[in-house]
């Protein structure tokens, strides 16, 4: 970092069920999170007004900032806002639409950085947004800071998305725009990817019907944390209706979202000989008592299939990016020490589903090897960046506030 970028920066990370605030110390050769707080977002705030949501965020941030740092000097804030945004500058952008169960109507089309700045000013907090970033972009920024071979970032958590570094001249929308590096980050919003080649089951269709953003985020609905448990529940419900595997308990399987993705993971990862954890979950969460071992095995199988499909689709997405960048084995270094060798590639990755579910990770790795072959897959490293989405936003806030001091963009 340059000397004038060193200092204390704040970041907030808003984009799922948990809200995070971070205090980040940016030094000459280091970036350290000195403090962090996590708060669940009350469900009613995800459906109210933007003023209510951002007031909650502003008050939590005020509490966090004023605990240690003075009130006088204005501080720069990296704002990680993980929803589709039409970016109008480094520090501004308007919300295109909500995803992941949020549905605050009066926010669509508004500049979310400005709304947050108004909420911060309204409660007298001397902090201003200097960088507005998607979580994938924050993750890429931190990944790239630590390792310059990092060319893309992927989030697999409550929702899913990816971004990568593209040559500016290859981006039609940006013709004529120059950047110092000649590159630009493309936020793919891959959760909204759709293709007629993607087989859609009746369960995917039923799930889509249950959501507030019907017909949107089709890829995300097959992959990410909010949805996997529900897909498995829909399968089990259909089995209960068409057979007697669950006895009289079929009705208990008819309630949407009673099988969360953490429960699906716990079912799949139960390695006890009598599947006692599966029995407990069925009893306590789905109100299905006394299942025979054979039925519990069937439930594990369903959770396995849903997990495996999700992990393999995510892997296919990652290979798609590597292919676009010529890093899927087709490009080899043409000069220097690594001549003739495939280039080393790092993909920064984050998200509760990926980080908290080892079986998902195994299936994803397995699929990467299957698609690219072992030799090429060995040159690609998926690297977890702890809190990268927030810390990366603080880094970008640091760079951008010093650029502003110097009068450039």
Among 19, 45, 84, 393, binds ligand BGC (CB under 6 A): 84
- Give CA–CA dist 396/11, Å, rounded: 10
Q: Is 379 in the site for ligand BGC (CB under 6 A)?
A: no
Q: Are 94 and 111 in contact, with CB atoms under 8 Å apart? A: yes
Tokens 């306590």 belong to which residue?
284
Say how far residue 380 (Cα) sits from the centre of its chain.
20
Active-site option among 13, 20, 23, 82: 82
Q: Catalytic: 135? A: yes
Q: Which of the residues 215 through 234 are near ligand BGC (CB under 6 A)?
A: 220
- Nearest 5°: CA angle at 56, between 50 and 61? 120
Report which of 216, 198, 255, 258 is spatially closest to residue 100, judged by C-alpha positions: 216
Question: Which two tokens mark 320?
Answer: 């798609």
Whether 82 is a known active-site residue: answer yes
Beta carbon nearer to ligand BGC, 160 or 402: 160
Q: Cβ(87)–Cβ(93) under 8 Å?
A: yes
Nearer CB in complex with ligand BGC: 329/351: 351
Here's the x/- map for ligand BGC, 133-162, by CB under 6 A: it reads as -xxx------------------x-x-xxx-
Long-range contacts of 38-42 (CB under 8 A, 24+ apart): 41/14, 41/17
Per the annotation, the verdict on 3 as an active-site residue is: no
The window from 36-44, 80-88, 112-120, 250-258 that contacts ligand BGC (CB under 6 A) reads 80-88
Q: Which residue in the shown chain puts its C-beta closest to ligand BGC?
A: 159
Q: Which of 5, 13, 111, 189 binds ligand BGC (CB under 6 A)?
A: 189
If the CB atoms of residues 5 and 387 are measured against ligand BGC, the closer one turns out to be 387
Q: Name the CA dihedral angle for 253, 256, 262, 264, rounded to a multiple of 10 degrees.
A: 40
> x/- binding map, residues 299-328, to ligand BGC, per CB under 6 A?
------------------------------
Nearer to ligand BGC, 84 or 143 (CB): 84
The least CB distance from residue 136 to ligand BGC, in Å, is 5
- Integer Cα distance of 205 and 372 in angstroms: 31
d(CA 183, CA 192): 24
Nearest CA to 135 out of 5, 41, 20, 24 is that of 20
Q: Is the CB of 135 or the CB of 270 nearer to ligand BGC?
A: 135
Enumerate the active-site residues.
Answer: 82, 97, 135
Which residues contact ligand BGC (rule: CB under 6 A)?
Answer: 15, 82-84, 99-100, 134-136, 155, 157, 159-161, 189, 191, 220
């Amino acid at each position: 970092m340059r000397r004038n970028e060193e200092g204390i920066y704040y970041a907030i990370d808003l984009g799922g069920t948990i809200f995070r605030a971070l205090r980040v110390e940016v030094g000459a050769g280091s970036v350290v999170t000195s403090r962090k707080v996590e708060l669940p977002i009350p469900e009613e705030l995800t459906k109210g007004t933007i003023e209510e949501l951002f007031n909650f965020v502003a008050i939590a941030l005020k509490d966090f900032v004023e605990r240690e740092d003075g009130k006088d000097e204005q501080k720069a804030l990296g704002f990680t806002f993980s929803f589709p945004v039409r970016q109008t500058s480094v520090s501004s952008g308007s919300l295109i639409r909500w995803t992941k169960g949020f549905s605050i109507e009066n926010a669509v089309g508004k500049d979310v950085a400005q709304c947050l700045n108004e909420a911060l000013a309204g409660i007298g907090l001397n902090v201003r947004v200097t960088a507005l970033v998607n979580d994938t972009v924050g993750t890429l920024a931190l990944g790239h800071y630590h390792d310059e071979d990092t060319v893309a970032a992927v989030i697999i958590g409550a929702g899913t998305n990816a971004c990568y570094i593209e040559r500016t001249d290859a981006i039609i929308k940006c013709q004529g725009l120059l950047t110092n590096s000649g590159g630009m980050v493309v936020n793919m919003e891959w959760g909204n990817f759709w293709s007629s080649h993607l087989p859609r089951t009746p369960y995917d269709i039923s799930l889509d019907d249950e959501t507030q953003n019907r017909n949107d985020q089709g890829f995300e609905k097959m992959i990410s944390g909010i949805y996997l448990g529900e897909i498995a529940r829909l399968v089990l419900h259909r089995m209960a209706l068409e057979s007697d595997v669950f006895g009289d308990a079929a009705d208990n399987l008819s309630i949407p979202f009673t099988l969360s993705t953490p429960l699906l993971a716990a079912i799949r990862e139960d390695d006890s000989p009598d599947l006692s954890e599966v029995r407990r979950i069925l009893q306590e969460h789905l109100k299905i008592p006394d299942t025979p071992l054979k039925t519990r095995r069937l439930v594990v199988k369903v959770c396995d299939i849903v997990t495996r499909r999700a992990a393999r689709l995510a892997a296919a997405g990652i290979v798609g990016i590597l292919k676009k960048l010529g890093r899927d084995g087709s490009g080899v270094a043409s000069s220097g020490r690594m001549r003739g060798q495939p280039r080393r590639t790092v993909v920064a990755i984050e998200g509760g589903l990926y980080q908290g579910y080892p079986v998902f990770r195994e299936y994803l790795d397995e699929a990467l090897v299957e698609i690219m072959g072992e030799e090429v897959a060995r040159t690609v490293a998926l690297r977890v960046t702890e809190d990268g989405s927030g810390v990366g936003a603080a880094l970008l806030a640091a760079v951008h506030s010093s650029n502003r001091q110097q009068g450039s963009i």
